[in-house]
Chain A
Amino acid sequence: MKGKSLTKKARTVLLAVLAVYAVTVATHLGEFWPFSIYPMFSQGGNPWSRALVREIPDSDSISWSPVALDDMPGLPYGVATNGVDPIDLANFVSKTQTWSTDRVGALSLMLLSNREADPIRLQVFRVQARLTESNDVDIQATPYVIVGTGIEPGIGSLNPVLVP
């Protein structure tokens, strides 16, 4: 096959893929893997939401009050120690609209499934930040859920303000 004919075919295939690309991203909010409009970081300056986990010793009482990042209770706990991607955790927490028993169970599965049998109690916080009028970054952590070995996942382990 000559170069001209190959070029024509390549152009046709490329344009066909481009058309599918355009239609799928246009109808799926810019994302249809591996097609994307790559909107990451486009929303500069917007408030953001993440999640953090703290290990709460049995001797400590549980508080559901929002705190500053430096005043979080308990001990540092890295979710990577249990193979969890922190972005998954953050999205799970921020995108959950209704905290059902199933949803608390799924969070418990995510955080505890690979753990040894050692007893542990983890408090999951939603961390939210915004730019203040004076252009400082204000960060606040709100306790959402308690999960742990020996804790039956359910709405009883939720911050009372989240109970559906």
Chain B
Amino acid sequence: MNWNLSDNLFGFDDPDSRGQRIFRRAFELFICYGVLSLAWYWGLYTLRIGDVVLELGLANWLDISFMHGNSLPIWNAGLITAMIVAGFFRLGKWWYSVAFVLLLFQYAARFTLGEIPHSSNLVGMGLLGFALAELFFPERTSKGRFALGFSYFFIGLGYTSAAISKLVARGITWPDGHNLWMWINEKAVDEIARSGFVELNVLQELALSNWWIATAFLAIGLLTEAFAWLIWFKKTRIPVVWGILGLHIGIWITMDILFQLSVMELLLLALPWGAFTDRFWPEKVVGITQS
């Protein structure tokens, strides 16, 4: 097996196919969709924000309150939309980069109330990958391959970093089931805050009634994160993506947290869509005759 990281991430010398091209374009389309949904969701939410409790991102460097109390977030969402459409239809190489910068403002304006979310990071990194691909790579195939490889790299790095953060903070006792008890209760309170009521599901009840089961859930999650870097390599990529998807489903069931865009992105990466497409819609090869 080839363990060369660059070859595994980018594969610039690999043969290309119709299926691979469609897959890369579909991935780009998903990132565009993710960016637009974030830009508008954040923009509309920001309209109700009247004070800065915690500065995040760009707000560390500039007073982001100029985005509050007016319709700037909506104008910004509109501009991001125009940039993304222009970028997707290849109307210039700078559009994705400008959209990325505008999205930094949108994020900083939205998350000033203290919440530090992580559900949008993968989409943000995906956009950065396509922005850099447009700036530094010459033609469509290499741009797409770089952007995809860039996303694989930072997905692996992100989840592995999450495991390292846990081990640094709590050591190997992090998977202690009591921690899950605290989080289940915390998320139950969030649900009461959200809807007024809460009803625990069977898995939550099971974890709360048995320390060993709660500990096993956390240990499996930690191991999955710790080996997420294996997504960098072609041979291990798909099983690792499924493992991370399983982790997200576990988090969803036990703690009622669903990182929707991250899960959608992982689902797109979890199956060999390119190979499927090539199998059922093969490209005609011109100039080769069978003897």
| Binary flags per residue of B138-153, CB closer than 8 Å to A gives 1, else 0 | 1000100010011001
Residues of B within 8 A of A78 (CB): 192-197
Nearest-neighbour CB distance to chain B for A78, whole angstroms, equals: 4
Interface residue ranges of B167-184 to A (CB < 8 Å): 168-170, 174, 176, 178-179, 181-183
Partner of B7, one of A7, A51, A76: A7
B113 touches A92 (CB 8 A): yes
- Interface size counted on chain B using CB atoms at 8 A: 72
In the complex, whether A13 has a CB less than 8 A from a CB of chain B is yes
Partner of A7, one of B10, B117, B118: B10
| Binary flags per residue of A38-58, CB closer than 8 Å to B gives 1, else 0 | 111111111010111100000
In the complex, whether B159 has a CB less than 8 A from a CB of chain A is yes
Residues of B within 8 A of A43 (CB): 169-170
Q: Which B residue sits closest to A127, measured CB to CB?
A: B189
In the complex, whether B124 has a CB less than 8 A from a CB of chain A is yes
B137 touches A6 (CB 8 A): yes
Give chain B's interface secondary structure class. Answer: helix
| Binary flags per residue of B90-126, CB closer than 8 Å to A gives 1, else 0 | 0000000000000010011001011111101111110
In the complex, whether B199 has a CB less than 8 A from a CB of chain A is no
Nearest-neighbour CB distance to chain A for B174, whole angstroms, equals: 5
Complex: A129 Cα to B159 Cα, angstroms: 28
Q: How large is the interface on A (under 10, 10 to 19, 20 to 34, 35 or more residues)?
A: 35 or more
Residues of A within 8 A of B12 (CB): 3, 6-7, 10
Nearest-neighbour CB distance to chain B for A72, whole angstroms, equals: 9
B182 touches A131 (CB 8 A): yes
Query: Which residues of A are interface residues toward B (Cβ below 8 A)?
Result: 1, 3-4, 6-7, 9-11, 13-14, 17, 28, 30-46, 48, 50-53, 69, 76-80, 83-92, 94-96, 102-103, 105-106, 109-110, 113-114, 127, 129, 131, 135, 137, 139
Q: Other than the known A17-B128, A48-B186, A137-B181, what 6 A-B pairs have Cβ atoms closer than 8 Å? A: A33-B57, A42-B168, A78-B197, A91-B115, A129-B189, A131-B182
